[in-house]
A and B are shown apart, each in its own frame.
Chain A
Amino acid sequence: MLNIKNLQVTVEGNQILKGIDLHVNAGEVHAIMGPNGSGKSTLARALAGHPQYEVTAGEATFDGKDLLDLDPDERAREGVFMAFQYPVEIAGVNNAYFLKAAVNAKRKHQGLPELDAMEFMQLIKEKSKLLDIDQSMLSRAVNEGFSGGEKKRNEIFQMALLEPRLAILDETDSGLDIDALKLVAAGVNAMRSPQRAIIVVTHYQRLLDYIVPDYVHVLTGGRIVKSGGKELALELEKKGYGWIESGAQPVGAS
């Protein structure tokens, strides 16, 4: 589904990613772990098409299509979703209004009829239970005045509404207490399906107790230096990132 070869990314003139290779199939959950500043979030944002992240070399295809050639909104409509590490507060834009616009943008792209207000409210009702999204979160402005936990829940809620084929969760666990973490993880697990791939970017192993990955990759210094199964995360938890030798060779994931 997602095929990344030698991806190199520069942010404001600094090269952050120095050649990433990653292959993700439908139905798989991949975890990308690494110390702060290793380039994990850069990978997530570059895949989502953030304008400040400039791809200088390499390629990324999504179902055979050149992902890097698409605008961020085209990627989203094609089925790529990134849950933001820092969801943006947008004053004055009603959350429910925004969600409806997003859902309908995608439906239009798929050639489906747009949902009217009634149908949309039905969808909201159905999807909101699992993530404990209450009415006030829908009637407020997008992320404005949301607690850290509410922001992250709102991200996963969007994912549930948009039903992406590839979801990239950028440090979705950061700043969450254990209850919120369980809620978010339950939301993500409910989305696991043979048709969908999920990439979980995280610093800590904790989230992976709840969202159990099929593959774990360690990213340091802008490169994937080690790949393995879910047990690799436990090993990292025990030994920290220091034990991974800087010269370690990347290992193909699949």
Chain B
Amino acid sequence: MAQVVEKLQPWLAAIERRPHGGPRWMQDLRDRGAARFAALGFPTVRDEEWRFTNVSPIANAEFVPATEAAPVTSHSLRGVAYSDAPNRIVVLNGRFASQLSRVNGLPNGVRVGSLAAAVTEHADVVPRYLGQLADFGTKAFTALNTALSVDGLYVHIPDGVVLDEPLHLVFVTTSAGLPQPIMSNVRTLVVVGDRCRVRIVESYVGPDGGAYFTNAVTEIFAGDGAVVDHYKVQQESLDAFHVASMHVHAARNANVSSHSFSLGGKIARNDIGALLDGEGAECTLNGLYLADGERLVDNHTTIDHAKPHCPSHEIYKGILGGKARAVFNGKIVVRQDAQKTDAKQTNRALLLSDSASINTKPQLEIFADDVKCTHGAAIGQLDEDAIFYLRARGLTYFEARDMMIHAFAGEILDRVKVEPLRVALEGELYAQLAKDLAEIDAA
């Protein structure tokens, strides 16, 4: 135990030096986050939620909070898929970077920008939402973020607004030129009013590579009848750690879809929690992850059906090479009132090498009786019969294999409704796959 406490010491020191100032409720939120992190410490593999993901490489690395925004350079946005979005809002090392941000003809009343600024400038809205979904009482990383976050992004869409162009939120982290690798506790709050339609892309990137730690928390509130299409693109440095949670509250007849693409990171953990809290709310969770080498990607999703007539659809797919490991845990809760729930979950993984592995678990907790819940998991290698079929028509083994792998990923990629993002993701993904496959063929 003494050793554990010792390892925690630098983190507790960072907590002690947490940001101060701002309104009292904000300071109070930070203080409570700090107290909870100090009490919880980092999760261990004895923790059911972290059974297959050992975070000691993060805990032992002594990341320090960045003390100031990194300088903007010509390559600050290098490697960002869909960086040419007309609405691009950038956070650099945890702080809003206005020089890299631009918006284009947003309707009146739409607010997009620094969360730290909104805390005081939008004081009638922010306190009602910030920290309301993200549970820092039991989740250590959320507590750490709550205590240490200095800034992040704030999106507020007033009732009835339809946005034609997506909002691209870009989180850049770099330890370049700094004496010690940094951590970035970025925070995003998205409040979408009734009957709005909006597409939001969140990208996490490390243009300079190297080690750093992104600890992100996103809260999204979708009002009555709102349609929110959310994309997360995780393209962190391959030496970086990425822990992120996204919390969604869907009101009556809201329709929220999440598309998660996890491509980078040494350890990447994505938690998504969606609360369907109004009749007729609908939720779609799609995910595609790619890992090779000795990387680990862990997706934990929870869909909480709290009200009747809420459908949910979930498809997660992974492609693993080398000695990569993946974890998928898909929890579906149907509360007693949530009659006529229709929940469907599918989880598939393609293992390109014998040393790659995945731990997958559907977790159904159903307390209502008139519901339809289905789940299925399929883990395996490429279908040999399909490969033979393609070869019997003249395609080489390699052409057949690539066609199959692209088809596997395509099922998720094709659901991306932001065309330039889809094209960029496809390019990024296939380039990475081509590299992995070339290594396999060379071996």
Contacts and interface: CB of A to CB of B under 8 A. Distances in A.
Interface in A54-104: 71-73, 75-77, 81-82, 84, 87-93, 98, 101-102
Interface in A195-221: none
B393 A76 contact: yes
Interface of B: 383-386, 388-397, 399-400, 403-404, 406-408, 410-411
A93 to B, nearest CB: 5
Given A90-B407, A91-B411, A48 B392 contact: yes
Main secondary structure of the interface of B (DSSP, over half): helix
A93 B389 CA distance: 12
A93 B393 CA distance: 14
Nearest to A75: B392
B407 A91 contact: yes
Nearest to B405: A92
Contact of A102 (B394, B404, B406): B394
Contacts of B391: 49, 71-73, 76
Contacts of A75: 392
B180 to A, nearest CB: 45
27 contacts: A50-B388, A71-B397, A72-B388, A72-B392, A73-B392, A73-B395, A73-B397, A76-B392, A77-B394, A81-B392, A82-B392, A84-B392, A88-B383, A88-B388, A89-B386, A90-B383, A90-B389, A90-B404, A90-B407, A91-B411, A92-B407, A93-B403, A98-B390, A98-B393, A101-B395, A141-B407, A162-B394
| Top 6 closest pairs, chain A to chain B, by CB | A92-B407, A105-B394, A76-B394, A102-B393, A88-B389, A73-B391
A81 B407 CA distance: 24
Contacts of A82: 392
A84 B395 CA distance: 16
A88 B386 contact: yes
Contacts of B385: 88
A75 to B, nearest CB: 8
A182 to B, nearest CB: 25
Contact of B407 (A49, A88, A93, A105): A93
A109 interface: yes
A153 interface: no
A241 B392 CA distance: 31
Contact of B411 (A76, A92, A98): A92
A169 B418 CA distance: 45
Contacts of B408: 92
A235 to B, nearest CB: 33
Interface in A137-154: 141-142
B403 A98 contact: yes
A106 B388 CA distance: 16
Nearest to A51: B388
B395 A105 contact: yes
A87 B394 contact: no
A71 B392 CA distance: 9
Contacts of B397: 71, 73
B388 A109 contact: no
A158 interface: yes
Given A88-B388, A90-B390, A98-B403, 6 more contacts: A72-B391, A77-B394, A81-B392, A88-B389, A93-B404, A98-B390
For B383, B407, B411, the residue with the greatest tally of chain A CB atoms inside 10 Å of its CB is B407
A131 to B, nearest CB: 16
B306 to A, nearest CB: 33
A22 B21 CA distance: 90
Contacts of A106: 394
Contacts of B411: 91-92
Given A82-B392, A105-B394, A51 B384 contact: yes
Interface in A89-141: 89-93, 98, 101-102, 105-106, 109, 141
B393 A162 contact: yes
A48 B395 CA distance: 13
Nearest to A89: B386
Contacts of A73: 391-392, 394-397, 400
A235 B225 CA distance: 71
Contact of B392 (A49, A93, A109): A49
A49 B397 CA distance: 13
Given A102-B394, A158-B393, A90 B386 contact: yes
Contacts of B396: 71, 73, 105
B412 to A, nearest CB: 10
Contacts of B388: 50-51, 72, 88
B386 A105 contact: no
A50 B387 CA distance: 10
A105 B390 CA distance: 11
Interface string A151-178: 0000000100010000000000000000
A51 B403 CA distance: 19
Contacts of A84: 389, 392
Nearest to A80: B392
